[in-house]
């Protein structure tokens, strides 16, 4: 079966990503997951008669779409989507999908398996952003983080070991948000500083997890995708810094938020 009337949908907890049939490729669109009728309308407007559905909300969306829907294993969808977005992908690598939470997958010729994950992800960014800065607008939080100074919020290893007898490198943070326990620092920390610290905390912990897994399974490359990376240089910077400390190569996918949808489209077309 060709791709002319086949679409792919990755229904996440927060966002639903679509890969719609379009001449010469795919049209990529995103809708809030609480608006399934908009998803169905977009599919209809692009003439999709077969829809590969994957992600945590796949079952609910499949029920809405009826006979159009083809359930696709989420890990398989991501593997196929990355192959489309990154034709020169390493033969064996870790794939880190940062959505509402984060999953780490091992991709190799034998298939794909989940190594583990963390509840830190885009949901953390939105929740802490709302609590600390007063906004849960993702694009706004990303823009704030670009100019923020996390040293006004976090405590570094160098500060903890002020006498210079640290058992580890001192150019990293010892504790996220620790300064906020002091009233003066709570007053002085700006929304920009707080947003930067949120992104750094999520990025560093995701990178620590992925870097540790990379050592266990012996892979050199870590591929990052997911909607939380869209327009988010502060998060990308944190990931790059910590992955590099493991001696690993970070690879960021263009349109990485749509890997699952693109892969679901391919798998549905094959069937």
DSSP string, the chain: --STTEEEEEE-SSEEEEEEEETTEEEEEEEETT-HHHHHHHHHHTT-SEEEEESTTHHHHHHHHGGGEEE--HHHHHHHHHHHH-TT--SSEEEEEESSSEEEEEEETTEEEEEEEES-SHHHHHHHHHHHHS---HHHHHHHHHT--GGGTSEEHHHHTTTS--SS-SSSEEETTGGGGSHHHHHH--HHHHHHHHHHHHHHHHHHHHHHHHHHHT-SEEEEESGGGTT-HHHHHHHHHHHHHTT-EEEE-TTGGGHHHHHHHHHHHH-
Residue 132 shares a structural domain with residue 153: yes
Q: Region 69-91: what's the mean pLDDT? A: 92
38, part of any domain? yes
CATH number of the domain to which 48 belongs = 3.30.420.40
Residue 132 shares a structural domain with residue 247: yes
92, part of any domain? no
**What's the pLDDT at 182?**
82
Return the percentage of the chain with pLDDT > 70, whole number. Answer: 97
Residue 150 shares a structural domain with residue 218: yes
Q: Region 191-201: what's the mean pLDDT? A: 98
Residue 161 shares a structural domain with residue 219: yes
Residue 70 shares a structural domain with residue 43: yes
Residue 241 shares a structural domain with residue 266: no
Q: Kindly report the average pLDDT of the chain as a whole number.
A: 93
Q: Which two tokens stand for residue 136?
A: 């849960």
**What's the pLDDT at 90?**
87
- pLDDT at 168 > cutoff 80: no
* Whether the predicted model's global pTM rises above the 0.95 cut: no
Sequence-distant (6+) residues with CB within 8 A of 170 are: 156, 157, 158, 161
Residue 139 shares a structural domain with residue 218: yes
Domain that holds residue 58: 6-86+257-270
Residue 128 shares a structural domain with residue 211: yes
Q: Region 9-33: what's the mean pLDDT? A: 94
**What's the pLDDT at 34?**
94
1, part of any domain? no
> How many separate domains does the chain show?
2
Strand partners, 51: 7, 69
**What's the pLDDT at 151?**
92
Q: Region 239-268: what's the mean pLDDT? A: 96
Q: Region 213-233: what's the mean pLDDT? A: 97
Residue 130 shares a structural domain with residue 211: yes
15, part of any domain? yes
Q: Do 9 and 257 touch, CB atoms closer than 8 A?
A: no
Residue 175 shares a structural domain with residue 266: no
Q: Do 82 and 259 touch, CB atoms closer than 8 A?
A: yes
264, part of any domain? yes
Residue 143 shares a structural domain with residue 240: yes
Q: Region 163-173: what's the mean pLDDT? A: 72
107, part of any domain? no
b/e map 7-31, b = 16+ CB within 10 Å: bbbbbbebbbbbbbbeeeebebbbb
Q: Region 65-85: what's the mean pLDDT? A: 94
Q: Which two tokens stand for residue 110?
A: 């034998």
pLDDT tens-digit series, residues 96-144:
999 999 999 999 988 899 999 999 999 999 999 999 999 999 999 999 9
97, part of any domain? no
pLDDT confidence band for 180 (50 / 70 / 90): very high
112, part of any domain? no
Residue 234 shares a structural domain with residue 248: yes
pLDDT confidence band for 200 (50 / 70 / 90): very high
Q: Region 219-241: what's the mean pLDDT? A: 97
């Amino acid at each position: 079966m060709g791709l002319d009337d086949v679409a792919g949908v990755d229904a996440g907890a927060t966002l639903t990503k679509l890969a719609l049939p379009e001449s010469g490729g795919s049209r990529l669109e995103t809708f809030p997951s609480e608006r399934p009728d908009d998803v169905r309308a977009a599919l209809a407007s692009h003439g999709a008669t077969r829809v590969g559905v994957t992600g945590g909300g796949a079952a609910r969306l499949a029920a809405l779409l009826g006979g159009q829907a083809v359930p696709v294993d989420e890990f398989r969808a991501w593997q196929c989507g990355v192959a489309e977005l990154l034709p020169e992908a390493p033969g064996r690598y870790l794939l880190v999908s940062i959505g509402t939470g984060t999953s780490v997958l091992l991709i190799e010729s034998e298939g794909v398996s989940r190594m583990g994950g963390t509840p830190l992800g885009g949901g953390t960014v939105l929740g802490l952003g709302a609590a600390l800065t007063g906004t849960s607008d993702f694009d706004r939080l990303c823009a704030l983080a670009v100019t923020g100074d996390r040293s006004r919020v976090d405590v570094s290893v160098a500060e903890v070991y002020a006498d210079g007898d640290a058992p580890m490198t001192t150019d990293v943070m010892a504790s996220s948000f620790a300064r906020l326990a002091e009233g003066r620092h709570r007053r002085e920390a700006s929304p920009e500083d707080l947003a930067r610290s949120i992104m750094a905390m999520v990025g560093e912990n995701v990178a620590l997890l992925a870097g540790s897994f990379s050592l266990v399974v012996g892979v050199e490359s870590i591929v990052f995708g997911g909607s939380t990376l869209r327009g988010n240089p502060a998060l990308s910077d944190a990931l790059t810094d910590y992955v590099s400390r493991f001696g690993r190569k970070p690879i960021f996918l263009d349109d990485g938020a749509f890997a699952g949808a693109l892969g679901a489209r391919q798998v549905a077309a094959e069937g």
